[in-house]
Amino acid sequence: MSTKANSNAFKRFTSFCVSIMQKYLPDPYIFCALLTFIVFIGTMVFTKQTPMAIIGHWTKGFWSLLAFSMQMALVLVTGHTMASSKVFKNLLSNMASKLSTPRQAIVVVTIVSTVACILNWGFGLVIGAIFAKEIAKKVKGVDYRLLIASAYTGFLVWHGGLSGSIPLQIASDNPAALAKQTAGAITANIPTSQTLFSPMNIFIICGLLIMLPLLNRAMYPSDDEVVTVDPKLLAEFEEEPINREHMTPAEKIENSKVVSIILGIMGWAYIIQYFITKGFNLNLNLVNFIFLFTGIILHGTPRKFIDAFGEATKGASGILLQFPFYAGIMGIMTGTNADGVSLAILMSNFFVNISTPTTFPIFSFWSAGLVNFFVPSGGGQWAVQAPIVMPAGLKIGVSAAKSAMAIAWGDAWTNMIQPFWALPALGIAGLGAKDIMGYCLIVLICSGFVISAGFLLF
């Protein structure tokens, strides 16, 4: 009876969180605007800067993520285009058809997404959402909101995985660059054996890999609360039948496989050479390159690829609209007053000043989670917090590797309720942030205990 009562209480709490998010979480664009206002006012109050000075920081930062915005738009579009090819759709369809129950579907999509994000976050972010959408076609009665949320929760592990930007950066940068980034706290490269492959990080990754599927399954709503997918969201782009009899020379070229084959060979020649010379060291540009040229090959003809690519771009509007505003928020957060103080510095210093050697990693993790709301970029967060957290950790007796991983995990942690990173998955799924954030809030709370335990125990 006690177990059943606990289960019912948990489901009620989950339903409450989902209901609250559905009612009160606005569109991600409005969420972004509200964050802008909060940071604007906070900077005026705590750093004593004038409104025009803050607007100067805002506009200076506004276009600083243009290259990254294009990368993220291409992650969505090229990934979606590749997945819309017949070969890929058949592969995902066969995988999805082996699932028989809604709860089984939730567990499998969580595992697939999490493992994929451990390998590479860009790959996992797209593949998880695409696989979830295919599952919705095969598994009748599955709650579509929780299915997409489960696919997104795998992204939680990205900064502790093989493509984590902070641990890879401190492993590969030259000592002079590291010393400059961290105010002299790091004067030598830190190998991944002390970060990604440390007992602490392995404990956290394994703990989340076990917890996430079980937690997502436990959140499955009762039968009367299940929200199944609107069939319109699952409608796929249909290729037009080709009539070659009356084609113009230009149309014959557009529908010839020769162009796609040559381009595909050129692209994959580079990809293979990259793996041979540099190993499995994926970055965002290479992921997009793989998606792009694989899609070109799988669609067969240029015309099919062009049509599929055009269809895929419809989901990229949120990225193109909102990322400049987040760049502006980052500009305000990091903009300093005459004394060299910014709102981001004040936030970080608060947690540093109340820390002991035992609590420092956890407080740094929490502070990084808070800063991530306003600076939702791993590289941006490192630039903001490393000059504060790294020297403080060194002074208090905490290893540089552990301090760096505290920033990294904080950056990953609050992505669960930060719509910034959910936009590609939501674009593929055809949902809004409010549809999944209630479930993601539960994941945020529970994963916070697992990650904090990792920093305490090791």
What's the pLDDT tens digit per position in 299-340? 999 999 999 898 888 778 888 888 899 889 888 988 999 998
Q: Is residue 337 part of a domain?
A: yes
Torsion of CA 3, 9, 11, 12, to 10 degrees: 160
Q: Is residue 138 part of a domain?
A: yes
Q: Is residue 242 part of a domain?
A: no
- Choose between 244 and 362: higher pLDDT: 362
**pLDDT classification of 297: cutoffs 50, 70, 90:** very high
Query: Can you list the alpha helix ranges (DSSP code H) found in 219-316?
Result: 249-254, 257-278, 284-299, 302-312
Q: Is residue 243 part of a domain?
A: no
Q: Is residue 435 part of a domain?
A: yes
pLDDT of residue 6: 67
pLDDT of 263-293, one tens digit each? 999 999 999 999 899 887 767 788 889 889 9
Q: Is residue 408 part of a domain?
A: yes
DSSP calls for 20-80: HHHHH---HHHHHHHHHHHHHHHHHHHH---HHHHHHHHHHHHTTTHHHHHHHHHHHHHHH
Q: Hey, how many other C-beta atoms are within 10 angstroms of the C-beta on 211?
A: 17
The domain containing residue 145 runs over which residues? 9-236+248-457
Q: Is residue 311 part of a domain?
A: yes
pLDDT of residue 148: 94
pLDDT of residue 443: 96
Mean pLDDT, residues 68-72: 82
Q: Is residue 85 part of a domain?
A: yes
Number of domains in the chain: 1
Mean pLDDT, residues 347-356: 84
